[in-house]
Structure 1
Amino acid sequence: MNYIKSLHKEGFKKFVSLDVQFNERMNILVGENEAGKSTILDALKTVLNQQYRNTDKSVLRDLFNTQMVAVFKEKPSVKTLPRIYIEVELALDPQQKDASYFYGEVYGQRKQQFEKYGIRFECKYDEELGTGMEQSIQEGKIPYEYYALTWTTFSNRPYQIIKRPLHFLAIDTTSSAAAPSFNYFNRTVFASRYDGATKAKAKNDFRDKLIDAFDDLGLPELNEKQKFGVDSKKVVLEAVLSIYEDSIALENRGSGMESFIKTQIALDRANGLDVILMEEPENHLSFSTLRKMLQQISEKQENSQIIVATHNNMIASRLNLNNVLWITEDRVKSLVCVSPDVAEFFIRADDNAFLQLLLSKKIFLVEGATEFLLLPMFYQQITGHTIEKDDISVISCYGISYRRYLEIAQSTGKRIAVITDNDKDMERIIGANSFNQAHSLQHIFMGATVDEWTWEVCVYKENKAALDGMIDVQAGAAYKFHDKDYGAVLGKMLNNKVDIAYQILTSGKTFVVPQYIKDAIEWLRE
């Protein structure tokens, strides 16, 4: 199977330098907005599709890394001019036609020693072409028009898209890309589906029949020497192709169905695509259609290498956490070390907050809605700050074992405070203390004794007078919890957790915060 093994880039858009190692089959790029997911896809398209080859050089303003531009502006010289360098390493079948064209040990300035398959893109100032521009450069002006863009294989031969080493398709569902993406998609499927002889015959027959069809119109001649005819150079088969389903052109479908059908076609083994890039496939899709698409991708991912950039939690979870590539400020981290058991759990648990955990800086992990409602209030009461201001997220497990989240956290180096109940179990208290001693970035907080066995008990103990006066109970009514009498007010709190939490939240009163919650807040802020 042919696929993309790795990407190295320097000076391209967001990143001064970045290396990405891709999985052979499925790759899910996740990160904050502007983290660089699209930049990675764009780098691959720049190399393999020779994107920007015929574009005006003014586009370089948007491609150069801003830090490199700032370095040049501070100390302008030919040596400090910004440049772009991208290498894409490939895994190719040595027996396929032209494979040797991409194989070698010449890797430009990086001077790699092992022979590999790949393509290198360079965008740098052409000093010979720019003779006489030295003074302008010294004044801090970047001579965009004097830059040269070159594509070279690892065997140090010029790369042209006609010799593309693998069948490669990018599916972009963003609205700005809608119009050109149809032509690109149709052309790519046509090129990968049929062999050279079939395509050549179709194009030749199309041209001949178009000319014959025009002649059959019987349009009167202009004069004895002049008449209208078809300029076959202006009518190229690939430019007028559309893919139809049930007599409706793909571009005339709704945006959601367009994305779904494009994915369906791309994944069809018969179309012979080696690599499929998908940017935000969740756009315009309903929940049910997205689930169908993910099922389709899961079943057919063995046919191609798939690289998906997404903000969608369901996509990241359903396509397996082990395939996630998490993009941070300066690197890409794989979650391949997450245990298969945890990864499988999150595939099946739709209602999870995996992506929120991954994209948060610091996290409170709580058991349910009560803690989720009240913890931000307690946090602001103690610190004088909102959790939003301090870039802290509160994630409720809602019945999912917090230990599954903790394993992901340990793989990513996240600082997490778990707030949970000890459920009158001394072993849980001892286990939490042992965990905290062994882990510096994740701590578990709960009541220190079995008498402080749950959130409501601890809050009531510290605020008995205030809560007795605030919570209405019926005289003589039994408010037992699990057949045990804890008193009317506490019993009502235990049986109506969310309603009472909301009543506390909207009361406008200040409450004493239990010690273990204080400890969690202070520890997370360290």
Structure 2
Amino acid sequence: MATIRRLVLKNFKRFKSLELEFDPELNILVGGNEAGKSSVLQALDIVLSASRSKVESLGLETLFNAECIADFLDGERKIDDLPELLLEVYLDGIDGHHDLDGRNNSKGTDHLGIKMVCKPVDEYTKEIQAILAEKHESFPFEYYGVHFLTFTDEAIFPHKKPLKHLLIDSSQINNEYATREYTRSMYAAHATVVQRNLHGFEYRKAKSKFKDDVFKAMNEALDTYKFDVRTSPKASVETDIIITEGDIPIDSKGKGRQCFIKTEFALRNREHALDVLLLEEPENHLSHVHMHKLIERIRESVKKQLFIATHSSFIATRLNLKKVLILSEENPSRPASLKNLSQGTAEFFMKAPDNNVLELALCKKAILVEGDAEFILMDTLYRNSSEGASTNADGIHVISVDGTSFKRYLELARLLGIKVAAIRDNDGNYQANCVVNYVDFVSDSIQVFADANDARHTFEVCMYQDNKAICDDQFLAGRKTLTVEDYMLKNKTDAAFQLLEKKGADIVAPEYIQQAVAWIRA
């Protein structure tokens, strides 16, 4: 099976440099809104398309890294220092393509691969020098050439691409051009060259027959000018076909259904169909039911390599966290991989209820809490323990975690170097549950906080004992059988809401929570 092993980018969009190693089956790209997930898919699409017209339609000024352009314009502006744009795709599993196997790549090693190089055209040296001498802020993009080459530096063209690929961007799901390109790509993937030639011939023949049979009488009544049917490449079988479901064109369906159909159709296993499928945020427009169905289709897919850019924890965890690549907004050149996550933790999150895995994976600091009551009150307790600071202002994410899941989240935090304060109940045995239990996880970046007094076994007990007057004032009225403490234990979420709304400014955080706040802020 033809697959992509590696992508190398130089001066492409937000990446001055980037190198990504890929899994031969599934790659899940996650990151913030400006982390570059879409840029990675776009880079793959550009190189695999080997289409200069695609690059020209996008515009070099949108593809070049803005920082490298600014650095050049602020520097000495020597023509030899003009930045070049490089996209390299290293390939595996392609037999009989010796023209792809060479050393003309940034690694200087023998490998199968193709690349796009964008650099100044030598013939325009004088013109470029004149522009650079003017010292204005315009960059000479117009004098750059775009070259698609193999690693032997032989030219490569769209009709000789080494593998078949398709990009499905859910944000363009209703775009007429994108829908037409999708249909053409799927047609090319499912029809052999012989079939396409036959279809084209029969389509032109049918058009000619239509003209002769239907327009004949009308045209005979005309003299100089007559009606005909377009037979140019812009009106061929590939431009005129559509995809239907139940005889209804898919572009007449809702966005969610279109997104699902296009992805599901592309995932179907055909021997000569797609090698690589690129999915841009497939969760967009999908209901929860269709999301489940889509994940099942992806799991069942074979004989193709998948790249999925997503913001969805559900997609990332249900498919396989070990296949996740994390792109950083702060450090674009240093992606992180979860391939070293334990299989047990990856399988746990596949089965666990909805979780906040990506929220943890994409943050720098987090407070893990054990239940809804702690989550509801944590920002207030944080503010009251830090002279008015807030978790949002300090860039700290509060994540509610089931008590049995703490170690799974801490393993992820340890792998990614995230600073985490885990706040939990001691459940009546502080030493066993909160010290010994986490001895393999506690480090300079991970600490576990709980009340050391075994009698103060849960958050509600600690809150009541440290805020007795406030809690009695709020909950004592009307109590006949339950004590206030018992009421808070039996109605944890409701009690937390009431304290937040009525007494938020006055409540005091238990000491172990104050310690957690001080540590995470340090």
Equivalent residue for 1:512, pick from 508, 514, 517: 508
Aligned to 1:353: 356
Could you list the per-position Cα deviations for residues 288-334 of structure 1 after superposition, in whole angstroms to 9, with x for gaps in the alignment?
1111111111122x231110001112111111111111111322211
Q: Give 1:124 deviation, angstroms.
A: 1.4
Q: Give 1:398 deviation, angstroms.
A: 3.9
**Tell me, what secondary structure is at the counterpart of 1:188?**
helix
Aligned to 1:492: 487
Equivalent residue for 2:209, pick from 204, 212, 220: 212
Pair 278,400 (structure 1): closer, same or farther in 2 beyond 3 Å: farther
1:121 and 2:126 matched: no
Pair 176,293 (structure 1): closer, same or farther in 2 beyond 3 Å: closer
Whose RCO is larger (CA < 8 A, sep 6+)? 2
1:292 and 2:293 matched: yes
Contact 1:369-1:398 at 8 Å conserved across structures: no
Residue identity opposite 1:202 in structure 2: H
Could you list the per-position Cα deviations for residues 20-78 of structure 1 after superposition, in whole angstroms to 9, with x for gaps in the alignment?
11111011111011110000001011111135536548822211112112201211332
**Tell me, what secondary structure is at the counterpart of 1:447?**
coil
Residue identity opposite 2:370 in structure 1: E
Residue identity opposite 1:494 in structure 2: L
Alignment partners' CA distance in 1, 2:426 and 2:168: 49
Q: Percent identity?
A: 34
Pair 238,225 (structure 1): closer, same or farther in 2 beyond 3 Å: same
Structure 1 runs of 4+ aligned residues shifted over 6 Å read none
Aligned to 2:169: 172
Taking only aligned residues, the RMSD between alpha carbons, in angstroms, comes to: 2.0
Q: Give 1:12 deviation, angstroms.
A: 0.5
Residue identity opposite 2:312 in structure 1: N
Q: Give 1:228 deviation, angstroms.
A: 3.3
**Tell me, what secondary structure is at the counterpart of 1:371?**
helix
Q: Give 1:390 deviation, angstroms.
A: 0.9
**Tell me, what secondary structure is at the counterpart of 1:174?**
helix
Residue identity opposite 2:228 in structure 1: G
Aligned to 1:337: 340
Equivalent residue for 2:99, pick from 97, 101, 118: 101
Pair 222,439 (structure 1): closer, same or farther in 2 beyond 3 Å: farther
**Tell me, what secondary structure is at the counterpart of 2:53?**
coil
Alignment partners' CA distance in 1, 2:448 and 2:179: 52
**Tell me, what secondary structure is at the counterpart of 1:364?**
strand
Contact 1:103-1:155 at 8 Å conserved across structures: yes
Aligned to 2:16: 16
1:131-210 equivalence runs, <5 A? 131-138=126-133, 139=135, 140-175=137-172, 178-210=175-207
Moved more, 446-455 or 220-229: 220-229
Matched length: 509
Structure 2 length normalisation: TM-score? 0.93
Aligned to 1:483: none
Pair 175,158 (structure 1): closer, same or farther in 2 beyond 3 Å: closer
Alignment partners' CA distance in 2, 1:365 and 1:525: 14
Contact 1:326-1:333 at 8 Å conserved across structures: yes
Moved more, 248-257 or 123-132: 123-132
**Tell me, what secondary structure is at the counterpart of 2:502?**
coil
**Tell me, what secondary structure is at the counterpart of 1:20?**
strand
Pair 177,22 (structure 1): closer, same or farther in 2 beyond 3 Å: farther
Aligned to 1:258: 258
Alignment partners' CA distance in 2, 1:58 and 1:460: 62
Contact 1:3-1:24 at 8 Å conserved across structures: yes
Q: Give 1:351 deviation, angstroms.
A: 1.4
Pair 445,513 (structure 1): closer, same or farther in 2 beyond 3 Å: same
Contact 1:432-1:445 at 8 Å conserved across structures: no
Alignment partners' CA distance in 2, 1:293 and 1:111: 37
Could you list the per-position Cα deviations for residues 361-399 of structure 1 after superposition, in whole angstroms to 9, with x for gaps in the alignment?
211100111110111001112222111111111110145
Pair 489,159 (structure 1): closer, same or farther in 2 beyond 3 Å: same
Pair 129,459 (structure 1): closer, same or farther in 2 beyond 3 Å: same
Q: Give 1:230 deviation, angstroms.
A: 3.3
Aligned to 1:370: 373
1:309-324 equivalence runs, <5 A? 309-324=309-324
Could you list the per-position Cα deviations for residues 125-164 of structure 1 after superposition, in whole angstroms to 9, with x for gaps in the alignment?
2242242331321314311110111111012100111111
Could you list the per-position Cα deviations for residues 152-205 of structure 1 after superposition, in whole angstroms to 9, with x for gaps in the alignment?
101210011111111111111104772222111111111121221111111111
Aligned to 1:232: 231
Equivalent residue for 1:412, pick from 402, 410, 416: 416
Pair 215,268 (structure 1): closer, same or farther in 2 beyond 3 Å: same
1:379-394 equivalence runs, <5 A? 379-383=382-386, 384-394=388-398
Alignment partners' CA distance in 2, 1:117 and 1:365: 46
Q: Give 1:435 deviation, angstroms.
A: 4.8
Moved more, 455-464 or 205-214: 455-464
Alignment partners' CA distance in 1, 2:249 and 2:162: 30
**Tell me, what secondary structure is at the counterpart of 1:457?**
helix
